[in-house]
């Protein structure tokens, strides 16, 4: 391995990014103090500000143990084009100032693609964490973000074999791929003890294994009245069997306010603010059933052994169906959803963890080891030469943070 410093910008924008990146940032710090580490990581943490509400940002940020960001770009909300463009404009300034050897992006949000695109234009190598996931549905902005980010990336960290297969089928050279497992599960494992101490169940008056947890925020499910009406009927039906608790994402807040005033039995449908990560892990772990349209929740419930019904017509995470606890049901077919929920509630649950290979809590370490190895090889090209010749701390620039 080359001696020297590797300046790595790590980019996050939205809530799920924080959960995926924290184990990597931590593993870089651990690497730096480990015996015999001749390469030193100098991480620069950039928060684009795509998510900015305390409930969407700082609550989760603090729970997953991220340090203060070095840069907060404050891009906020907007159309996809506005948001992506705003991240690009602001991130380009950071990139030029920091001149990193590598930029790490995660997941599939607008900030992910925006940062990767700027890197490609500026000739800076990109590593994509959670590469290769495909739903096959290009009407989802996340699918477009995933696809383009992967094709702009120099290093692609995958969570499962089908991720590798998707990338190879799209012509991405195998030598760019590294299967490292799932960094989101690293965060889950780290927070489990803290979650045991969370008072959230008592606070909400919920009994363990006697409630259904809901997280629905996809535009297709919550942006229009037709979708919301369907949801109203379905969640009302579920709540006849067991109480339903729903931490409401801001996107769904307006419409669901309407739903809340119309619901039949207000006591059994609990609409609450978005939870911090530790409280949310507690809510997931002790649920009888989870209904979601999120990506990460499909993975987390599998590892927690909690039955999950994903109300979408496709998933980019089929491993959670093949090996996990996930059931995919289109939100257009709520009769089927009722049947699936009924079957789950009628069967005796075992809550046994379903854990795909390498979802073991150590993916962040593998990411960092793979980056170090990449930096030391000829494959890293110019970067390897630059790293070998340098041995200085990354400059930190005082910037307003969160």
Give catalytic residue positions.
Answer: 217
The yes or no reply on residue 46 touching ligand UD1 (CB under 6 A) is no
The yes or no reply on residue 250 touching ligand UD1 (CB under 6 A) is yes
Candidates 74, 141, 305, 349; binder of ligand UD1 (CB under 6 A) is 141
Candidates 50-58, 124-132, 195-203, 388-396: pick the segment binding ligand UD1 (CB under 6 A): 50-58
The yes or no reply on residue 222 touching ligand UD1 (CB under 6 A) is no
Alpha-carbon span 363 to 360, nearest angstrom: 7
Q: Which of residues 280-299 bind ligand UD1 (CB under 6 A)?
A: 294
Alpha-carbon span 103 to 202, nearest angstrom: 42
- Count residues contacting ligand UD1 (CB under 6 A)? 21
Tokens of 246: 């729903």
Tokens 């950071």: give the residue: 94
What is the per-residue burial (b if ≥16 Cβ within 10 Å, else e) of 65-87?
bbeebbbbbebeeeeeeebbebb
Q: Which of 374, 389, 371, 382 is nearest to 25 (CA)?
A: 371
Q: What is the dihedral of CA 230, 232, 234, 240, to 10 degrees?
A: -160
The yes or no reply on residue 77 touching ligand UD1 (CB under 6 A) is yes
Candidates 134, 146, 190, 217; binder of ligand UD1 (CB under 6 A) is 217
The yes or no reply on residue 47 touching ligand UD1 (CB under 6 A) is no
Tell me the DSSP string of 136-180. Answer: S-TTSHHHHHHHHHHHH-SEEEESSHHHHHHHHHTT--GGGEEE-
Tokens 């992006």: give the residue: 105
* Identity of the residue, 79 or 261, whose beta carbon is nearer to ligand UD1 in the bound complex: 79
* Identity of the residue, 15 or 312, whose beta carbon is nearer to ligand UD1 in the bound complex: 15
Alpha-carbon span 283 to 307, nearest angstrom: 13
The yes or no reply on residue 312 touching ligand UD1 (CB under 6 A) is no
Q: How far is the CB of 141 from ligand UD1 (least distance, A)?
A: 4
Alpha-carbon span 349 to 148, nearest angstrom: 40
Q: How far is the CB of 353 from ligand UD1 (least distance, A)?
A: 24
Candidates 2, 5, 48, 50; binder of ligand UD1 (CB under 6 A) is 50
- Chain positions contacting ligand UD1, by CB under 6 A: 14-16, 50-53, 56-57, 77, 83, 108-110, 141-142, 217, 249-251, 294
């Amino acid at each position: 391995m080359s001696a020297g410093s590797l300046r790595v910008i790590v980019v996050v924008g939205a809530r799920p990014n924080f959960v995926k990146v924290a184990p990597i940032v931590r593993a870089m710090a651990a690497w730096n103090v480990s015996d015999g580490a001749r390469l030193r990581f100098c991480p620069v943490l950039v928060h684009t500000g795509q998510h900015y509400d305390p409930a969407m940002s700082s609550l989760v940020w603090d729970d997953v143990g991220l340090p203060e960001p070095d840069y907060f770009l404050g891009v906020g909300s907007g159309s996809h084009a506005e948001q992506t463009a705003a991240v690009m404009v602001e991130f380009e300034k950071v990139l030029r100032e920091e001149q990193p050897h590598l930029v790490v992006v995660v997941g599939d949000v607008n900030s992910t693609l925006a940062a990767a695109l700027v890197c490609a234009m500026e000739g800076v190598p990109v590593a994509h964490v959670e590469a290769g996931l495909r739903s096959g549905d290009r009407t989802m902005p996340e699918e477009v973000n995933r696809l383009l980010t992967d094709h702009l990336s120099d290093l692609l960290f995958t969570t499962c074999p089908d991720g590798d297969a998707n990338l190879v089928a799209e012509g991405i050279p195998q030598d760019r791929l590294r299967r490292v497992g799932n960094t989101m599960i690293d965060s889950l494992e780290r927070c489990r003890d803290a979650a045991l101490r969370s008072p959230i169940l008592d606070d909400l008056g919920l009994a363990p294994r006697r409630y259904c947890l809901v997280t629905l925020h996809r535009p297709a499910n919550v942006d229009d009245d037709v979708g919301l009406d369907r949801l109203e009927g379905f969640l009302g039906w579920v709540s006849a069997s067991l109480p339903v608790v729903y931490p409401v994402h801001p996107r769904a807040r307006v419409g669901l306010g309407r739903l809340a005033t119309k619901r039949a039995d207000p006591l059994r449908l609990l609409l609450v603010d978005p939870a911090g990560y530790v409280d949310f892990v507690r809510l997931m772990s002790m649920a009888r059933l989870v209904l979601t349209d999120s990506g990460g929740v499909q993975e987390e419930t599998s590892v927690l052994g909690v039955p999950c019904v994903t109300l979408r017509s496709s998933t980019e995470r089929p491993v959670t169906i093949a090996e996990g606890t996930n059931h995919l049901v289109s939100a257009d077919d709520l009769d089927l959803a009722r049947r699936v929920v009924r079957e789950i509630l009628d069967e005796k649950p075992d809550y046994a963890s379903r854990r795909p290979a390498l979802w073991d809590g150590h993916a962040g370490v593998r990411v960092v080891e793979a980056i170090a190895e990449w930096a030391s090889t000829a494959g890293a090209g110019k970067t390897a030469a630059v790293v070998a010749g340098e041995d200085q701390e990354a400059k930190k620039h005082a910037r307003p943070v969160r």
